[in-house]
Amino acid sequence: TCKVNFPDPNKLHYFQLTVIPDEGYYQGGKFQFEIEVPDAYNMVPPKVKCSTRIWHPNITETGEICL
């Protein structure tokens, strides 16, 4: 299950995503991400940060995501 929240409805390029898996290893967890899509999107990737402390090989201890 995913939920999207726009803290500022005038800034649609910045939003928060909450993911609550209903199956798999992370089932029952609640994970929050902050996403900012730059104006130069498509040439520049979105900035994504995990706000929830989690161990994952693609997420650093400070929440930066390596894809």
Question: And the tokens for 56?
Answer: 């994952």
Known catalytic residue at 2: no
- Looking at 4, 12, 40, 66, which residue is catalytic? 66
- Which residues have a Cβ under 8 Å from the Cβ of 39 and sit 6 or more positions away? 13
Give the number of other Cβ atoms within 10 Å of residue 13's Cβ.
13
Question: And the tokens for 34?
Answer: 């902050």
Active-site residue set? 66
